[in-house]
Chains A and B, each alone.
Chain A
Amino acid sequence: DSGVTQTPKHLITATGQRVTLRCSPRSGDLSVYWYQQSLDQGLQFLIQYYNGEERAKGNILERFSAQQFPDLHSELNLSSLELGDSALYFCASSATDRGTDTQYFGPGTRLTVL
């Protein structure tokens, strides 16, 4: 158990809908990363937050947004969902905003868009 929690575990929704994925980092970690894992695509970096502020952005679609709250939990909002958004979404936490920290991954949220 990494200490990172993600809810829900599974999410099935229809195209055009909007969903929110939630992540609680390990106790004491200030940084949260979001990744998308599709088949044969590896782990695609979406966005990083540190202590409530956006710090780094990857190839995150405009339909996706994220935020980190004062209690350090983070939410990833996915809107106008398309079939291609079906994937496993991981969040990871680390102590600081530096990319040299160990990242602790949550169990992931499996999103299925029908």
Chain B
Amino acid sequence: GQQVMQIPQYQHVQEGEDFTTYCNSSTTLSNIQWYKQRPGGHPVFLIQLVKSGEVKKQKRLTFQFGEAKKNSSLHITATQTTDVGTYFCGGILTTDSWGKFQFGAGTQVVVTP
């Protein structure tokens, strides 16, 4: 089954609003990566977090890695229509081999103008 869980599965946002998507694992993660997949496209790397409690920002996007390294969040402020897509988190469980990358099921974001 899915080892990395993402919520919500779907997010409908009004343009200009903020929202947060969450990523949770029952097992400690060595790292967490976030990818964005536009409709009809392929996943594109956004960012990686490796340290406990780490916070990184990319313009309107804020990424956080939990203190226990079991969860992460992506917060988008002032949502724009260009934010439409599915956001995936993923990482390596500390109990797995280095190459066994586990992705969550993704949060599909729809933006209403």
Tell me if A55 counts as interface (CB < 8 A to partner B). yes
Residues of B with C-beta under 8 A to A98: 98-99
Tell me if A45 counts as interface (CB < 8 A to partner B). yes
Q: State A58–B43 Cα separation when bound (angstroms).
A: 19
CB-nearest residue of chain B to A92? B43
CB pairs A–B below 8 angstroms (15 shown)? A31-B99, A40-B9, A43-B90, A44-B103, A45-B100, A48-B100, A55-B97, A56-B96, A97-B99, A99-B30, A99-B99, A99-B101, A100-B48, A105-B42, A105-B43
Residues of B with C-beta under 8 A to A103: 33, 35, 43, 45, 101
Among A35, A92, A100, residue most surrounded by chain B Cβ atoms (within 10 Å)? A100
A40 and B91: CB pair below 8 A? no
* A42-B88, A55-B99, A99-B98 known, 6 other contacts, Cβ within 8 Å: A35-B103, A55-B97, A58-B100, A97-B99, A100-B48, A105-B43
Residues of B with C-beta under 8 A to A90: 42-43
| Cβ-Cβ contact count across A and B, 8 Å cutoff | 78
Q: How far is the CB of B65 from chain A (nearest CB, A)?
A: 13
Binding site for B on A (CB under 8 A): 2, 31, 33, 35, 40-45, 48, 50, 55-58, 90, 92, 97-100, 102-108
User: Number of contact residues on B: which range applies?
Assistant: 20 to 34
Q: How far is the CB of A12 from chain B (nearest CB, A)?
A: 18
Q: State A108–B73 Cα separation when bound (angstroms).
A: 27
Tell me if B85 counts as interface (CB < 8 A to partner A). no
Q: State A45–B103 Cα separation when bound (angstroms).
A: 8
| Known contacts A55-B98, A56-B97, A56-B100; A41 and B31 CB within 8 A of each other | no
A100 and B30: CB pair below 8 A? yes
Considering only residues 87-107 of chain B, those with a C-beta below 8 Å from chain A are 88, 90-92, 96-106
Residues of A with C-beta under 8 A to B6: 42
B99 and A56: CB pair below 8 A? yes
